[in-house]
A and B are shown apart, each in its own frame.
Chain A
Amino acid sequence: MNLTLLMYLIPSLIMFGCGVYGFLTRKNMIAIMISLELMLNSVDINFVVFNRFLFPGHFEGMFFTLFAIALAAAETALALAIIINVFRIARKVDINEINKLKF
């Protein structure tokens, strides 16, 4: 049995599907961020796998994943700061109940 490119793409595809499901169904802001992390992570896997299998001597996909990890860390830190600030003001983290800015 050989490990092919396709066999590494399938778990990342399923991970992305889980992320989409969680993003659409969850109502808690932190749960939405967690689903977002799942989707970002599956895209990272795709970059690495394509790089490793198709262009073994080059490292573009690896560097893209490195920068994507840094971006994801920055984005999560800011988003969680915003969520905690919203919680301090409104005492809620549910996206259906936070509607003060709507008109």
Chain B
Amino acid sequence: MESVGNILMYFVIVISIIVFSVLTVTTRKMLRSATYLLFVLFATALLYFQLDYQFLGTVQIAVYAGGIVVLFVFSILLTHKPGKDAAALDVHRRWLGLSAALLGVAACGYALFSYCAFCGKELTGDGSITIERLGHFLLSTDKYGYLLPFEAISVLLLACIIGGVVIARRR
């Protein structure tokens, strides 16, 4: 049995995720779309906090809400006139997108509700991880160590920095 506060928090998170992700893809103003995306990302971070993954929630806020959304807002302000609506979608395209999305959601939802054997499982134990253990995991080379992906990501980020400089440079 969960506490009442936990259940209330769950409903706040879920309703804000659903409402704001629908608004993100349906609003016609680009800046509003980016703002709603920010709210979706914050709600996701709250979900991580609720599931005891504090470090992951912090990373989500710092990288997604602090980095990516700022990038989006900058590029929207650089490429759009403020306050201008996007052109209306043509009916054909909207129906195509809507039917594809609904078909996918219906198929996945059907599979979830009828075939998922472990879907009734409840939250057990304390899932939180200390920063010390996390650091040991990230920099160890034995089983359950993540040194290789860590290094691969750092090489990828270096390549990304160089690529960004090369692309954005004035010729």
The finding on whether chains A and B are genuine partners in a shared complex, rather than unrelated, reads yes
CB within 8 Å of B: which residues of A?
1-11, 13-28, 30-31, 33-35, 37-38, 41, 44-45, 48-49, 52-54, 56-60, 62-63, 65-67, 69-74, 76-78, 80-85, 87, 93
Which A residues are CB-close (under 8 A) to B56? 48, 62, 65-66
A52-B52, A69-B64 are known contacts. Are A21 and B97 too (CB-CB below 8 A)?
yes
Q: B122 contacts A3, CB within 8 Å?
A: yes
| Closest Cβ–Cβ distance, residue B92 to chain A (whole Å) | 10
Which B residues are CB-close (under 8 A) to A57? 125
CB within 8 Å of A: which residues of B?
1-2, 6-7, 10, 13-14, 17-18, 21-22, 24-25, 30, 33-34, 37, 40-41, 44, 47-48, 51-53, 56, 59-60, 63-64, 67-68, 71-72, 75-76, 78-80, 86-87, 89, 93-94, 96-98, 100-102, 104-105, 108-109, 112-113, 116, 118-127, 129, 134, 137-138, 144, 146, 149, 153, 156-157, 160, 163-164, 167-168
* Residue contacts A-B, CB under 8 angstroms, 26 given: A1-B2, A5-B118, A9-B112, A10-B14, A14-B21, A16-B105, A17-B101, A20-B104, A24-B97, A25-B93, A27-B86, A34-B25, A37-B37, A41-B40, A52-B51, A62-B129, A66-B56, A69-B63, A70-B153, A70-B157, A76-B71, A76-B72, A77-B164, A81-B164, A84-B78, A84-B79
